[in-house]
Amino acid sequence: MIKLNLGFLASHNGSNMQAIINNVKAGKLNANLCAVISNNRSAIAIEKARNENIPAFIVNSSTHPNNSDKEIVRILQQYNVNTVILAGYMKAISKYLIDSFNGRVLNIHPALLPKYGGKGMYGMNVHQAVIKNKESISGATIHLVNEEYDKGPILAQKEISVLPEDTTETLAEKVLKIEHNLYTDVLIKISNGEIVI
């Protein structure tokens, strides 16, 4: 059993982060909640982290014009993070960050990759594309992060049906519900050795 020391990168609401925190607190996931970093001063994720007494930091090109990635890595290493969780982080991840954690950087994507991935395919853009193309299934994907958007090795996927009456908003809601469980399930499997990263 590997004890996961989790560091979160989040740009907005951090609902997936909160779901993981709740599962750690409930004893479902054996992990330490080490640090939260956002590039967005007004991110609710920072507020959520502080409410949970998790060290929280703002790091972006304004706070660290020349070395924001180095500062992110410095903070995560200072708090002994061994697994980095992207929870709606809206900034490209550098090779430096990926290499600093031996590739142990995870992301969740609100579609079944490789479809509907890549630059510009995030949040509601993904769900709009799925609805527009009249797909009958969508879902969520957990993958390792590499230097190309949404191209890292897939660790797990979960499907949901897209109903004829679904809108972008209802689909987003349905996908978010499965995301919350899927992220924790994957982390449990990493912790107990079922998934090796």
For every residue of 16-67, DSSP letters joined together read HHHHHHHHHHTTSS-EEEEEEEES-TT-HHHHHHHHTT--EEE-STTTSTTT
Cβ distance 85 to 7 under 8 Å? yes
- By the 8 A CB rule, do 106 and 85 touch? yes
Q: Is 109 marked active-site?
A: yes
Distances 17 to 10, 162, 168 between C-alpha atoms, Å = 8, 25, 22
d(CA 178, CA 112) in angstroms, rounded, equals 12
Residue position matching structure tokens 């897209």: 162
Geometric angle at alpha carbon 24, from 9 and 186, rounded to 5°: 70
Among the options 12, 64, 109, 127, which is catalytic? Answer: 109
Which residues are catalytically annotated? Answer: 109
